[in-house]
Amino acid sequence: NQERSFIMVKPEGVQRALVGEVIKRFEQRGFKLVGLKVLVPSKDIANVHYGEHEGKPFFPKLVGHITSGAVVAMVWEGKDIVKTGRAMIGATNPLASAPGTIRGDFAIDLGRNIVHGSDSVDSAQREIALWFSPDELAEYDPTV
Ligand code: CMP
């Protein structure tokens, strides 16, 4: 399945200089980078992005955190990227993430788990449309 996923290095990942590490893993696995930008997310975009968690006790902290600094927002493309990307990132709680995954190698805190990845093809489409405009996504053949 050729798919796209929204992958984002969170503020703690940028602060800890893990941007290259995250990109390297997706690149080396064979996925294709089609969108990339650095930004400090607004409250508006954070509220929509994390909309499914609205009302939960950790929601204000979650939005406060993601808007606290620069993030690196990316769109990656390739076979089963949504599921495979989640496997590469590891379980939401880094203490449950297997070694070898991004979180399993670099994180121990649930609220500071380094990277976000879309959890389904539907979420990916919603998140890509939220964070990127169509002209920010490159169409190209990586083998040429
Ligand atoms: P992610 O899967 O990218 O999207 C939702 C985020 O909410 C999740 O990563 C965690 O960083 C965060 N999160 C989930 N549960 C909690 C919690 N109980 N307390 C704080 N943060 C949480």
Q: What is the pLDDT of residues 67-108, one digit of tens each?
A: 999 999 999 999 999 999 999 999 999 999 999 999 999 999
10 is in an annotated binding site: yes
**84 touches ligand 1 (CB under 6 Å):** no
pLDDT score of 3: 97
**97 touches ligand 1 (CB under 6 Å):** no
Does the pLDDT of residue 142 top 90, yes or no? no
**111 touches ligand 1 (CB under 6 Å):** yes
- The type of residue at 136 is E
CA distance 31 to 114: 19
Does the pLDDT of residue 125 top 90, yes or no? yes
Helices 19-29 and 81-89: crossing angle in degrees, nearest 10, is 130
113 is in an annotated binding site: yes
Active-site residues, by number, are: 116
pTM for the complete prediction? 0.96
pLDDT score of 1: 75
